[in-house]
Amino acid sequence: MITRLLVANRGEIARRIFRTCRELGVETVAVFSDADARAPHVAEADHAVRLSGVRPAETYLDVDRVVAACRTAGADAVHPGYGFLSENAGFARAVLEAGLVWVGPPPEAIAAMGSKVAAKRLMAEAGVPVLPSLELDGTRDGTPAGSWDGTRDGVLPAGWAYPVLVKASAGGGGRGMRVVRAAEDLAREVASARHEAQAAFGDGTVFIEPLLDRARHVEVQLLADGHGTVWALGERECSVQRRHQKVVEECPSPGIGEETRSLLREAAVRAARAIGYVGAGTVEFLVRGERVAFLEMNTRLQVEHPVTELVHGVDLVRLQLAVAEGAALEGEPPGPRGHAVEARLYAEDRDYLPRTGVLRRFEITGDVRVDSGVESGSEVSPHYDAMLAKVVAHGTTRAEAVRKLTAALRRARLHGVTTNRDLLLDILTSPDFQAGETHIAFLDDHRATLARPERAGPGADTPATGGPSPDAEPTDPSGPGANGPETNGAETDGGVALPVLAAGLAMAAERRRAAPVLGSLPSGWRNVRSQPLRARFAEAEVVYQPLPAGVTVVVAEPDRVVLERDGLRQAFDVALYGDKVYVDSPGGCTELTPVPALPEPTERVAPGSLLAPMPGSVLRVEVRQGERVAKGQPVLVLEAMKMEHRIAAPAAGVVSGVHVEEGRQVRAGAVLAVIQEIAEEITQEGDS
């Protein structure tokens, strides 16, 4: 019996496993980096061991330190979570050699699926449908990875055609993956994929396979015991992705029939039996029409496992622990009940760039399950993945689940860090998603209508600059034709953004409450009124005395404002943080930046400056001072959270300055380069 379990992971992953352990009466041990010393998963564990002496990003990858932590804490078992060391066969062996219970598949099964190149060969031999692949020249652990090397000229072998997909042989999560649609791009994308794979997994081996455009990404949840039983617990649809990483997942898939569903389950079970699999795992496929092709097998619990748990009524972590203790799976796998949809809430902007900072408020309520690694007051650091939480809803029908999830996200209180909440809402309410018409290019196809700038909220960062222009003037939403902040339809009256009006009234109420004298006087009281009272924000300006025509104030307090017009009342919850104001209502959230009456001097940057959108390391500088560049041309590449982020020229121009060099660490907002815009159009092939 397992009595004390160490979870070799962090954040929501560790908290999820701890939850089941508490229900079973199993003691828990957390490990943590210096950056995670105050993280919620550390506080929730019964015991915790600090892993020091390495960089935060590498802490959870140190096998020797994790095994030593087991001895320090007196743990008798290890759960690897999902990510970091969870698919590291060497780690599994080290745990077993230390005499501990390993809550995962045998090391041999992990190794068999550890290389996607080798896994595809093995699956083909087992009768699992696979796509052809080109194995590139290179090495993996000193072993040649292949013989084809046509990347320099981009000429593919006979029978191949663009587009193709470059993929890392090791790891997952979209890292080391690139879509290539033209021959001239192949060499660059292969080099980029290799570097990212090496940084993320310690293995830069990549391969190429055909890209099945507009296919669905469908995966089958497996659970196998040590007695020969393998369960296939239905399938999940994971097609809505950005940067090849999943954003929205659901169970069951809304777009496949029973025949295809049976084929997927049979292929997944065949794959598990071929490698003697034990424990929880996932087999991923691409599905286009009636064509099914194996992608990879994840020899661990998947991030999106909650949708399967809700639909099939199981606790996969509980079953993992039981299998690790030697129990047998009894009977048939439980069948599906209803539908579940999961949305991944990330700290990132609408260009999918990760954001850091302090979560001043983090509250998600409603009939949903929330698996989160953060809470109000948590710091989102640049060292780890940008996911804040998974929000999951279950309903008797797909429409009911989507409606519950939409309502919970819309009413969530998320203050302090930019999130993708508005993108998630746009996805969930889009007609194509609601019709179940999803595929792996869904976000690319809908980019023009999803995550629109006005949906991203006032003050949202602009691409490549990290914020509004320093010369930008606030607009007056009460003026003719003004474009105020996101106002969510009914919250606008005659051009007045009611959330902005609510913010102005709340700030006035706070000033009266904090007034050292005559605090009982009404806000803005004057013997003789000479000027209207205004609230100024970087994003908008509003007159709150006198009130706009037809608007009545029912309540005006520092944290709550209720406005009425034509008998219809609307309530706004207001959070004042000094440098930011957040206004929440059933229609969404508006973020505002107050403009002080006497602003402090601020550092100004030259027009055309490209600012670092996040802390990171300069991986490559792809231009020289004096070089002419086209709009959208890569200027440099930043590396953050073990992923590459390209910074592109916002307009055609001339590089008038490069302020960084390769290998340099930069802070968010640092000037990277300056592009002097020119009127004439430049192409990336030349000046004509």
Q: What SS3 string covers 512-561?
A: HHHCCCCCCCCCCCCCCCCCCEEEEECCCEEEEECCCCCCEEEEECCCEE
382 pLDDT band, cuts 50/70/90, is confident
Check: CB of residue 248 under 8 Å from CB of residue 427.
yes
> Comparing 390 with 148, which gets the higher pLDDT?
390
Residue 71 CA, distance from chain mean position = 34
Tokens 């330190």 appear where?
65
Buried b (16+ CB within 10 A) or exposed e, 477-509: bbeeeeebbbbbeebbbebbbbbbbbbbbbbbb
The C-alpha atoms of residue 421 and residue 415 are separated, in whole angstroms, by 11
Q: Residue type for 7, please?
A: V
> Comparing 172 with 161, which gets the higher pLDDT?
161
Mean pLDDT of the residues in the chain: 86
pTM: 0.82
83 pLDDT band, cuts 50/70/90, is confident
Check residue 461 and give its pLDDT.
33
Angle between helix axes 421-429 and 398-411 (nearest 10 degrees) is: 150
Check residue 372 and give its pLDDT.
97
The C-alpha atoms of residue 68 and residue 608 are separated, in whole angstroms, by 51
> Comparing 484 with 213, which gets the higher pLDDT?
213
99 pLDDT band, cuts 50/70/90, is very high
- The H or E element containing residue 234 is strand 230-242
In the sheet that 101-102 helps form, which strands lie side by side, from edge to edge? Answer: 47-50, 27-32, 4-7, 77-79, 101-102
Check residue 455 and give its pLDDT.
37
- 454, with CB counted inside 10 A (0-12, 13-18, 19+), is middle
> Comparing 165 with 519, which gets the higher pLDDT?
165
Question: In 457-523, where does DSSP find H-type helix?
Answer: 498-514
Rounded mean pLDDT of 301-322? Answer: 97
Buried b (16+ CB within 10 A) or exposed e, 587-599: bbbbbbbbeeeee
Number of other residues whose CB lies within 10 A of the CB of residue 602: 6
Q: Determine phi and psi for 30, rounding to 5 degrees.
A: -100, 150
Determine what percent of the chain falls in helix, strand and coil, rounding each to the nearest 5.
25, 30, 45
Check residue 463 and give its pLDDT.
31
Rounded mean pLDDT of 231-260? Answer: 95
Q: Is the dihedral of CA 86, 89, 94, 96 positive or negative?
A: positive
Check: CB of residue 298 under 8 Å from CB of residue 87.
yes
Using the predicted structure, report yes or no on whether residue 148 has a pLDDT greater than 80: no
